[in-house]
């Protein structure tokens, strides 16, 4: 008997994907429109976990945190931050925070500040820095990053800088190792549907501003996996949404693993430009009895 999960309503195929769902207003049922006029300080809004007690401030510094502005005639109009809030609420249920190990990543601190001085790495660090410094522009244009190299060379560290920049800019982000994402998709087939079902999860995943896929190519390749990855990448490619990904595989190996149609789209999203991470596994540096790393 096959261990593959059942295909679910879409089968992972682009041709079978539904039309874009009608735009919902995930905040509408929570934000009391009538009660906003005259609101003073920060107001209660749902955070991505659905906690309606979180105190909000306007990320753009324009409104009082309610997402609405009141003119002289007491008429409410949406603040520019409202669309971002709607997108964030829509992205709820996705893994969107940095893992503990990478939470403190910064260009100003080791290991990244050290990497920036290493001959085989400085150009890659420079490219990631430029991406982070222009994060809004990059995400609006659907540009991504492709970080390629052996284990323990700093790929995830650099990719996390991009995710951090996007989060700090108030953009929506989903961060998954590829095998974990596929496991999560499998779980949605066991759900009854609704917010936990495949359609809702797929919709959230393809609509975040940045999808960070770690360890692409580390998954066991099956037809089902290929279909899932293609469906996600193709939809984001069509909608000009960014993907940042890391992989241990070079381009021919990645093509072998995830398929040429998926890789072709990733190449265009990342401007045809894999950023190489050279050198040896830095984790062995911390292994008991390991000597200092040798120059590459």
Token pair recorded at residue 250: 């070079």
As a whole number of Å, the CA-based R_g of the chain is 21
Q: How many residues bind Mg ion (CB under 5 A)?
A: 1
Q: Report residue 253 CA to chain centroid gap.
A: 24
Cα(173)–Cα(15) distance, rounded to whole angstroms? 26
* From ligand ATP, Mg ion, none, interface partner of 282 (C-beta below 5 to 8 A by class): ligand ATP
* From Mg ion, ligand ATP, none, interface partner of 157 (C-beta below 5 to 8 A by class): ligand ATP
**Cβ-based burial of 112 (10 A; exposed 0-12, middle 13-18, buried ≥19):** buried
Cα(238)–Cα(230) distance, rounded to whole angstroms? 12
Cα(34)–Cα(68) distance, rounded to whole angstroms? 11
User: x-or-dash pattern for Mg ion, window 99-138, by CB under 5 A?
Assistant: ----------------------------------------
User: x-or-dash pattern for Mg ion, window 206-235, by CB under 5 A?
Assistant: ------------------------------
163 binds Mg ion (CB under 5 A): no
Report yes or no: 86 and 50 within 8 Å, Cβ to Cβ. no
User: Minimum Å distance from CB 160 to ligand ATP?
Assistant: 8
Q: Residue holding tokens 């996600």?
A: 232
156 binds Mg ion (CB under 5 A): yes
User: Minimum Å distance from CB 289 to ligand ATP?
Assistant: 17
Question: Which strand (E) or helix (H) includes residue 245?
Answer: strand 242-247
* From Mg ion, ligand ATP, none, interface partner of 114 (C-beta below 5 to 8 A by class): ligand ATP
* From ligand ATP, Mg ion, none, interface partner of 46 (C-beta below 5 to 8 A by class): none
In the complex, the residues that contact ligand ATP under the rule CB under 6 A are: 111, 114-115, 118, 121, 149, 151-157, 215, 246, 248, 277, 279, 282-283
Shorter beta-carbon distance to ligand ATP: residue 91 or 158: 158
* From ligand ATP, Mg ion, none, interface partner of 248 (C-beta below 5 to 8 A by class): ligand ATP
Report yes or no: 202 and 165 within 8 Å, Cβ to Cβ. no
Can you tell me whether residue 219 is helix, strand or coil? Answer: coil
- Give the footprint of Mg ion on residues 177-206 (CB under 5 A): none
Report yes or no: 213 and 244 within 8 Å, Cβ to Cβ. yes
Residues contributing to the site for Mg ion (CB under 5 A): 156
């Amino acid at each position: 008997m096959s261990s593959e999960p059942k295909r679910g309503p879409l089968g992972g195929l682009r041709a079978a994907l539904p039309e874009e769902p009608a735009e919902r207003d995930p905040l509408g049922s929570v934000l009391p429109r009538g009660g906003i006029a005259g609101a003073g300080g920060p107001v209660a809004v749902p955070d991505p976990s659905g906690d309606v007690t979180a105190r909000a401030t306007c990320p753009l510094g324009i409104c009082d945190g309610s997402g609405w502005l009141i003119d002289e005639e007491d008429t409410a109009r949406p603040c520019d931050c409202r669309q971002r809030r709607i997108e964030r609420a829509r992205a709820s249920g996705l893994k969107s925070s940095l893992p503990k190990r990478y939470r403190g990543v910064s260009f100003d601190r080791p290991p990244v500040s050290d990497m920036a001085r290493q001959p085989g790495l400085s150009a890659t660090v420079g490219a990631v820095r430029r991406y982070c410094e222009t994060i809004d522009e990059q995400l609006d244009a659907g540009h991504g990053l492709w970080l390629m190299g052996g284990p323990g060379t700093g790929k995830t560290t650099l990719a996390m800088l991009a995710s951090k920049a996007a989060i700090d800019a108030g953009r929506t982000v989903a961060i998954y190792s590829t095998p974990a994402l596929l496991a999560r998709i499998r779980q949605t087939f066991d759900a009854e549907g609704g917010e936990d079902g495949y359609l809702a999860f797929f919709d959230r995943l393809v609509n975040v501003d940045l999808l960070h896929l770690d360890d692409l190519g580390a998954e066991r390749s099956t037809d089902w996996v290929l279909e899932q990855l293609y469906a996600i990448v193709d939809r984001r490619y069509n909608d000009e949404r960014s993907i940042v990904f890391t992989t241990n595989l070079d381009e021919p190996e990645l093509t072998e693993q995830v398929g040429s149609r998926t890789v072709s789209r990733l190449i265009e999203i990342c401007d045809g430009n894999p950023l190489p991470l050279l050198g040896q596994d830095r984790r062995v540096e911390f292994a008991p009895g390991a000597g200092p790393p040798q120059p590459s």
